[in-house]
Structure 1
Amino acid sequence: MSSREYRERAEAIRTAIESNPETVDIDELADLLVSESREARRTAFEAYRTLVSDRPTVADGVGARLESHLTDDAADVRERAALTAAAFADDHPDVVDGLVPALRSVGTDPAEPGREAAIVAIAKLAHTRPASIAPAVDALVAICDDPISAPASARAERGGPAGRSDAAAALQPEREQRDQARLHAIAALTLLAADDPAAVRSAAPSIASLLEDDHRLIRAGACEVLEDLATAYPASVEPFASELAERVATDTKHPVPWRAADALVALDAERPECVGEAVAPFANDLSRFLESSDVDRRRAGVALVADAALARPESLESIRPTLRDLLSDDDASVRMNAVIALGTAGTESDRSTVADLADSDPDERVRETATRVCGRFDGALDSE
């Protein structure tokens, strides 16, 4: 059929839906959704939205037909089917739910022209049905770790007014398309990890490798996934504590350091020694957390500092003045962890201030912690 014939047939179906929806051939409607005519595809999609409100079971028929198109011998048909699935995923997840295996097949093949569209379709489904995308974790992780880079020769050149070679500039649209798919993929992985961390547990090493990615939002998303894994399966994140600590200390791109700190705080619940050893080399770099006006950042920062103090008390030498300031913080958790840090890494000169908290702090937890710390200063208790 010509493009004109596709458009006319799509218009005829839309008209039929208005007068006699029971007569519509669902397979034909699904075929028009992947036709060569963009206008016909748009009209068919509008027709579907009208029809499904009267015939909800249409979703199953269209989904089954789209699945056959996703496995078609023609790559261009598979690509259009993936694009159609991505369009359906936002408002019609019933259609896409059963397509995940077929979309995964398209999304795992770097040679597929519809790869990015398939990944986007899977990722969009995660917003309403995260459990449904579990079979496609490998495809989502793989594309996150597969950005498009300019050839080495092009990167070395600095031609043109924008400082880019022609080769690098030519790749820009493809790079942007890939990055959009990668961002959809990492967002889907964060949703899945929050819903079912077991589904991404085996991918922890691959997720951790994304901490070095060039895109800040990919790095931040990797931190979020690792945070959920640290809560549910701390052993799977423990090997990557040092990488997270480095992100906390050296990454300047928002929101990466804050997300990395959250992941380490989650790991701290079960592996405080591991976190302390990882953070200690970077303790001096945590001042931006300790001095932040955001209470959540101060909480995270001082919790990590307390772990570092227990692992290597000498690492806190330069930030002890800041810790002393935090003893008067408005937040009880911040004060408590500052007391813990000074209890291990402080000096005799800190004793009187801590002793005052033991008597006068309004929060019972802070008073109890300060009392124990005073005992350590007096040599009455062993260090933890």
Structure 2
Amino acid sequence: MKRRLIISAVLAGVLILLCCAGGTAAALLGGLNGDPNDPRLNLAACGAGTTINLDRLPTLSELSPAEMRNAAMIVQEGQRLAIPPRAWVIAMGTALQESNLHNLANSNVPRSLGIPHEGVGRDHDSVGLFQQRPLPPDGAGGWGTVDELMTPATSARKFYEKLRGIPGWEKMRLTEAAQRVQVSAFPEAYQKWEPLAAAIVDSLTGGAARAPGAADPAALGCAPGGVITAGGWTTPVSDQVGSRFGPRDSSFHYGVDLSSPYRTPIRAAAAGIVMTAECNAHSGTGPMSCDVDGGIWVSGCGWYVEIKHADNVATRYCHMIQRPPVRVGQLVSAGEVIGLSGSSGNSSGPHLHFEVHLGGDMSNSGAVDPVPYMAAKGAPLKDVR
């Protein structure tokens, strides 16, 4: 929980500084996490220069040097296997959940083998960063020998090899892919680690979590619009920002309007759970239909969807043309179609009104500018200034 709060606070600082300080953001934010070279500050970095030197690792306030070294070996092995960067984020999130990036032994290892370790786990006889179970005496059913599984690079290789054998893993939610590999008793537990896992991969690789998730690791670059990043984010539509976040006439605009024609597919910006899928159009005389165009005299989002993501982040998608095809409580993947653009509710023409909220606060107080937020995730909105 402490780590999740730290990264939320850092990201909130990113947004405030980018919105208000322009070119000074990088210099100021360096003081927040202790590393002015943190690639989260360089929105142009998307995996350039990915060679990892274990003797000169970057720092993140969320990780100790030993944890960062273990994380680096996980990414190194993914690079060596030439598996796409989405796998590095999945592996990182898995190791965060299983061991907090500690190379754990079980209660028998120190006595019987004397293998160096960073703590003793509590999951039966499982060991290592991924808490994999060693081969039993009969040699059947385990991941490998204790020596192998206590070697970070080897345990990571075994994780990647099993992941690579799962059809469609690149498009799965992190927790679904991790669960297919690990077969945990808590299948949803991995998803909460995706933001920190992406931040770690970015720090080690010059921003590879902002590169296309299925890209060739040898040729990384920023994800184009509509492509899902290794960190699990994508643009909801590929259309241009028509109205920005901030003061507008005598009011305040708590999102951005993306100039999407009627019936443009709207995609979930990241994996999450649907919190709202309803019509909330009103006029002075009461509720209105959302199956017709609204107008400036109408209040409300019309047909709209809200999705809760990891790290208590939520997104809102307004003015859909018809009832959205998703339901409350449904789990959705990044890039999954959640509705079609329209002009229902308080709208003067077809477009998507898109909002980002932090801290689980869906009120106006929790809204932040989606433009710098999505840029930091590697899924920049088309904002022509």
Q: Which has the larger Rg?
A: 1
TM-score under structure 2 normalisation? Answer: 0.26
Q: Which structure carries more strand by proportion? A: 2
TM-score under structure 1 normalisation? Answer: 0.26
Higher relative contact order (CA 8 A, sep 6+): 2
